[in-house]
Amino acid sequence: MSINWYPGHMHKAQKEIKQRLPEVDMFIEILDARLPYSSENPMLASIRGDKPCLKILNKTDLADPETTEVWQHFLEQAQHTKTLALNLHLANKTEQIFNLCHKLVPHKGDILKPITCLITGIPNVGKSTLINTLAGRTIAKTGNEPAVTQSQQRIDLGNNLILFDTPGLLWPKVENDNSGYRLAISGAIKDTAFNFDELAYYAAEYLLRFYPDNLIRRYSLEELPRDETTLLEIIGRQRGCLMNGGHVNLNKTSAIFINEFRDGTLGPISLETPDMMQKELRHVAQLLTEKAEKKAARLSAHKKGRKK
């Protein structure tokens, strides 16, 4: 799925992060617990180098808890990386976050040398809510629409911690089409940037395969539908999404289905696992290699043609 949404302030923020890098001790990256890999900005790893990183898996109330544990173990295999799973709307883990920051940067963290953290995350992942929680007051504007924060700001959190905020960052191109779908399904991309029908079919196919019990419970199904089209038609009829002639309005049904996933009505669901991502990445690498080889072959043929 192609993401055609890369606002100018995001490009500007990427440049500002690189400029501020020398004064930053560590990164705090907010991930969506339902899609930890797809919500991880691939540009950030290259920008931060070997600086420590605390990866916070937010929205754990919406994610499969067993899968979240698997992700934490997987992510912490990386050097200088710690993880914390939380639900920002419930338990306050402010002290735990502060302690992890001090452990990641043990040589700093006093009144003379406070720890400087740069916090980042994709749009609508809960970054502004976390900032307000850490600061103990409303500093960052929150909302359900992506791209609320549009400029950097410096925040003194106390506890000898200084926080630099950045806009929610997407990246120009998502090579893995599956990640594009997951980002859109989760609400990280504005709804005007994609077709709800396409998302609903993708989500329905995935849930029929990996979370059939959730569908049976939510929609009181006597048996599992044979495919995603049948599932969406059942949901549409249940919700009264009918047009003239009794046909199901798939666009309206799709919007209802995706929003029920987003608000947790379908139950705790994770959209990816480490094993799944590694298989997909191998496939993407193969496609990119084949694309490069075809491009090289075309260039070679073009040069030979010019010589003739």
pTM, rounded to two decimals: 0.85
Is 251 domain-assigned? yes
Is 204 domain-assigned? yes
pLDDT at 289: 85
Is 268 domain-assigned? no
pLDDT at 217: 97
User: Same domain, yes or no, for 248 and 292?
Assistant: no
User: Same domain, yes or no, for 254 and 307?
Assistant: no
User: Same domain, yes or no, for 149 and 286?
Assistant: no
User: Same domain, yes or no, for 17 and 94?
Assistant: yes
User: Same domain, yes or no, for 42 and 113?
Assistant: yes
User: Same domain, yes or no, for 257 and 278?
Assistant: no
Pairing of strands 53-58, 115-121: unpaired
Is 241 domain-assigned? yes
Q: Which domain holds residue 289?
A: 273-308
Is 5 domain-assigned? no
Strand partners, 156: 162
How many angstroms separate the CA atoms of 303 and 308, rounded?
A: 9
Domain count, the chain: 3
User: Same domain, yes or no, for 26 and 160?
Assistant: yes
The residue from 108, 143, 165 where one domain ends is 165
Is 114 domain-assigned? yes
The residue from 262, 282, 300 where one domain ends is 262
Strand partners, 126: none
User: Same domain, yes or no, for 47 and 157?
Assistant: yes
User: Same domain, yes or no, for 65 and 139?
Assistant: yes
Whichever domain contains 245, its CATH number is 1.10.1580.10
pLDDT at 292: 81
Q: In this structure, are residues 257 and 235 in contact, taking their beta carbons and an 8 Å threshold?
A: yes
User: Same domain, yes or no, for 94 and 38?
Assistant: yes
Is 49 domain-assigned? yes
- pLDDT tens by residue, the chain, 308 residues: 555 545 555 566 667 777 778 889 999 999 999 999 999 887 787 788 889 999 999 999 999 999 999 999 999 999 899 999 998 776 577 889 999 999 999 999 888 899 999 998 888 888 888 888 888 877 765 554 444 444 457 888 888 999 988 765 666 667 788 998 999 999 988 777 778 899 999 999 999 999 999 999 999 999 999 999 999 999 999 999 999 888 999 999 999 999 999 999 999 999 999 999 999 989 888 888 888 888 787 877 767 766 65
pLDDT at 262: 95
Query: Rounded to the nearest 10 degrees, what angle do helices 65-75 and 274-307 cross at?
Result: 60
User: Same domain, yes or no, for 254 and 212?
Assistant: yes
pLDDT at 2: 52
pLDDT at 50: 87
User: Same domain, yes or no, for 282 and 141?
Assistant: no
Is 170 domain-assigned? no
